[in-house]
Structure 1
Amino acid sequence: MKLKKFTSALLFSLSSLGLTSLSAQVIAQPNVYKFDTTKTAELRARDGLPNFFKKLHAGEDVKVGYIGGSITNGGLWRAKSLDWLRSEYPKANITQVNAAIGGTGPDYGAARIGDHLLEHNPDMVFIEYRVNNGGVYQGRAFEGLIPQIWEKNPNAEICIVYTIAHWMIDDISKGNQAQAGKPIEAVANHYGIPSIEFGLEVVKLLKEDKLVFKKGDSSAEGKIIFSKDGVHPIEAGHDIYRDVLVRSLKNLDGHGVAGKNIIPAPSKENIFSKASMVPVSEAKFSTNWQRVALTGVDINADLTDENRGGKAIFEQAMKTTKVGESFTFQWQGFLLGLTAVLEGKGDVVVEVTTDGGKPKLVDLKSRKGHRQEKYKFLAEVADGKHTTTVKLVKLAPNKTLQVGQFLVVAD
């Protein structure tokens, strides 16, 4: 959040009371936003993006960062928005950092944002997480992104963008915020961050019978086909996203006062502002484990294109195919997560024991019911030092237990 100045009238009043030393000083207080989090709007400007536009107008080097899910990772709205920025501000040298990974949410994002995005010191960060369970952990995960960005660079600007999926159509067509977006809007209010709703324009065109949301839903003759699956837009859908973003950015240009962003006290306890990734090599493994030879493009080497393959999820990884093998990891915090290969239900089951407590069975199953290179958070515990042992207790034929870096969230 940024600060707003008191009016000159108040300064004059203070001076008239004999507080003349104050009259020459800047007296400020935080901006307070109380937008209805149950409703949505195409643009809520809040504190704006003044540092971003200041650098654009000055023709400086500007690095734009993106974090979110597959709609941003491989989505054309990202590329199209960059094309527009470069044409609108030709004197600026605009580059990008794409830290979005498909199928991941803000819980994982908060743990990896430092390594995958902030390491490259972006001037502007677009966050897209509503479709990928943006409200996970009641918004605590999403909120944890914001202090991390401003601790790294207090002058960096942040903008939240809301993409739409088929299960949100009814809410957004009524002007309501989708369920996962409500805690995100609360974060936006608390930190003064602009939010842009892409979905309102989509449902407007849908109501006007100018758009088919999912190919095959109805006759597409003379209409825009938005998507093939009800979630991921095809190019025409990304054109809509780009157009909404462009007109919102035009409205934001000139809004707000440039300066360092101030990190307020958290809006709730145990936000994910101290989330991080810890190398898998920090754990002690039993005998029958092997290092995994990873393939794909390293996310830290790929700043412009799609992030796919094992190297997008895993920095290092270990694997075993023997039931009974285990590893032990000492950590400090209140929440531990694993990056892992997730399989179908019951294919890979581990027994988790923390601090010598009662063992708990954890099914490393994917939401889609088939193999995915993803992550799994365990149950929350009291904040502090912990020792966790993970033991493989069930493994289906031709399957492998594969784990990578740990996700540690501390208070």
Structure 2
Amino acid sequence: MKFKITLFFSLLIIASSSLLAQVSKEKFNFDPNKTEELRVRNGLPNFFKKLKAGEDVKIGYIGGSITNGGLWRTKSIEWLKSEYPKANITQVNAAIGGTGPEYGACRINNHLLIRNPDMVFIEYRVNNGGAYQGRALEGLIPQIWKQNPNADICIVYTISKGMIADIQKGNQTNAGKFMEPVANHYGITSIEFGLEVVKLLNEDKLVFQKGDSPSKGKIVFTNDGTHPVEAGHDIYRDVLVRSLKSIENFGTPGIHKIPKPLKENNFSGASLVPVTQAKFSKNWQNVDLGDETMINDDLTDKNGGTKTLFEKAMKTETIGETFTLKWEGFLLGFTSILEAKGAIKVEVTTDGISKIFDMKSRNGKTQTKYTFLKELKRGVHTTTVKLIKLAPGKVFQVGQFLVVDHQ
């Protein structure tokens, strides 16, 4: 009798393991050129299991400014706390305004994963989630699951004015077309916030941007065409809430298995390398960043600060000064102060091949941002950067390096 019971439970475990394997290997073929409000795929079963059990649940967010200081995040957390009052729900906001998934893949470990989230919302469509044809976005997923194979992931699609025409036709946006294949490949749930916004716009119940048309009696969605005002964030929250409620009992909890990469040279091995790893010539100085070097659990409203881009930094005002970095991967970038076109020029020499590079900003003004060089063949490289032009009153400042490889 004991043998039969043991055999029964052994078969049960094998059957359960087989089910988990089938779930993890299921392939999804949602059309990446079209958009729907909810594509469940493998769902969020681990997340809901912990919520229902009243456990500690830490939710992580990574994306751009719509999430960084966005009320949809705060409002959704408030709803989750009211819906699952026994659970201890906390959050880590690692979104940074004006940054895309190429930078996110490099920093996700430093800013988010070291805090061990149980659930991660990714919001990058407005900030060009299709950067590097989706390879940057893809790089986020394996990093999350290597740190915590039980962490569930959800991609959310926010909307900006230039996306309206596509979404009105039920089409995915140019960036989203590279994000959806990633969601299909890894079984990631995706939620489209934009369809509800466009629906209200078509019903003449919403003005997308203040001043577009008379707004009396209507919802004004944004003031600038991108960042929702509070009423706009209410729409985002409501779409998220109804999507989450519809899938709270869907899926089989278990460990996420990382499949073979969708694309070669994805950003799954991307990392931040401290500026101290480079060898600098004589006339460089350490930059006093003060308290800005401390990264806390909430990056909200720190968009313009150096804290999210520099842990340590070096600067020079002397033409001809250099720094040299030995690195391994296929793409190198660095955080820096960028200026108007032509204000700062450097000569970049990698493995003996030189090219002039303009450290120009995206808006023609001084920006604390990041920039990437040209992709190379994967391997060990040595790069030397030499300052060859500096406008009067400007400074060439660099921070941590962005080294991209795949695992």
Same fold? TM cut 0.5 = yes
2:320 counterpart of 1:324 = yes
Question: Secondary structure at the residue paired with 1:277?
Answer: strand
- Asked whether the 8 Å contact 2:64–2:100 carries over to 1, the reply is yes
In 2: Cα distance, 1:299 partner to 1:244 partner: 35
Structure 1 gaps of 5+ residues are 1-20
Question: Secondary structure at the residue paired with 1:385?
Answer: strand
1:185-238 CA deviation, whole Å, 9 max, x = no partner? 000000000000000000011111111111111111111111111001111111
> Quick one: which amino acid aligns to residue 310 of structure 2?
F
In 1: Cα distance, 2:117 partner to 2:233 partner: 23
Aligned to 1:86: 81
2:154 counterpart of 1:165 = no
Question: Secondary structure at the residue paired with 1:170?
Answer: helix
Question: Secondary structure at the residue paired with 1:65?
Answer: strand
1:15-51 CA deviation, whole Å, 9 max, x = no partner? xxxxxx9898323431110000000000000000000
Match of 2:14 among 16, 25, 47: 25
Q: Which moved more, 1:316-325 or 1:61-70?
A: 316-325
1:63, distance to aligned residue in structure 2 (A): 0.3
In 1: Cα distance, 2:237 partner to 2:294 partner: 24
Question: Secondary structure at the residue paired with 1:274?
Answer: coil
- CA 1:317–1:217 in 2, change beyond 3 Å: closer, same or farther? same
- Asked whether the 8 Å contact 2:68–2:299 carries over to 1, the reply is no
- CA 1:380–1:268 in 2, change beyond 3 Å: closer, same or farther? same
1:55-75 CA deviation, whole Å, 9 max, x = no partner? 000000000000000000011
Let me know the Cα RMSD of the aligned residues.
1.4
Q: Size of the alignment, in residue pairs?
A: 390
Aligned to 2:29: 34
1:396, distance to aligned residue in structure 2 (A): 1.1
Question: Secondary structure at the residue paired with 2:136?
Answer: helix
Aligned to 1:315: 311
Q: Percent identity?
A: 68
Question: Secondary structure at the residue paired with 1:328?
Answer: strand
In 2: Cα distance, 1:267 partner to 1:80 partner: 34
In 2: Cα distance, 1:22 partner to 1:301 partner: 47
1:410, distance to aligned residue in structure 2 (A): 1.5
For 1:142-153, what aligned pairs fall within 5 Å after superposition?
Answer: 142-153=137-148
Aligned to 1:409: 404
In 2: Cα distance, 1:304 partner to 1:339 partner: 17
TM-score w.r.t. the length of structure 2 is: 0.93
Structure 2 gaps of 5+ residues are 1-9
Question: Secondary structure at the residue paired with 1:200?
Answer: helix
In 2: Cα distance, 1:332 partner to 1:273 partner: 14
Match of 1:110 among 105, 108, 124: 105
> Quick one: which amino acid aligns to residue 103 of structure 1?
G
In 2: Cα distance, 1:253 partner to 1:283 partner: 48
In 1: Cα distance, 2:114 partner to 2:349 partner: 34
2:121 counterpart of 1:129 = no
- Asked whether the 8 Å contact 2:156–2:192 carries over to 1, the reply is yes
In 2: Cα distance, 1:320 partner to 1:243 partner: 50
- CA 1:362–1:118 in 2, change beyond 3 Å: closer, same or farther? same
> Quick one: which amino acid aligns to residue 352 of structure 1?
V
Question: Secondary structure at the residue paired with 1:151?
Answer: helix
In 2: Cα distance, 1:130 partner to 1:240 partner: 17
For 1:249-260, what aligned pairs fall within 5 Å after superposition?
Answer: 249-260=244-255
1:305, distance to aligned residue in structure 2 (A): 3.3
2:180 counterpart of 1:191 = no
Aligned to 2:66: 71
Match of 1:370 among 365, 368, 371: 365
In 1: Cα distance, 2:137 partner to 2:293 partner: 24
2:372 counterpart of 1:337 = no
In 1: Cα distance, 2:12 partner to 2:56 partner: 38
Aligned to 2:377: 382
Moved >2 Å (runs of 4+): 21-29, 295-300, 302-308
Q: Which moved more, 1:392-401 or 1:142-151?
A: 392-401
1:293, distance to aligned residue in structure 2 (A): 1.4
2:344 counterpart of 1:355 = no
- Asked whether the 8 Å contact 1:116–1:299 carries over to 2, the reply is no
Aligned to 1:228: 223
Q: Which moved more, 1:401-410 or 1:305-314?
A: 305-314
Question: Secondary structure at the residue paired with 1:311?
Answer: coil
Aligned to 1:177: 172
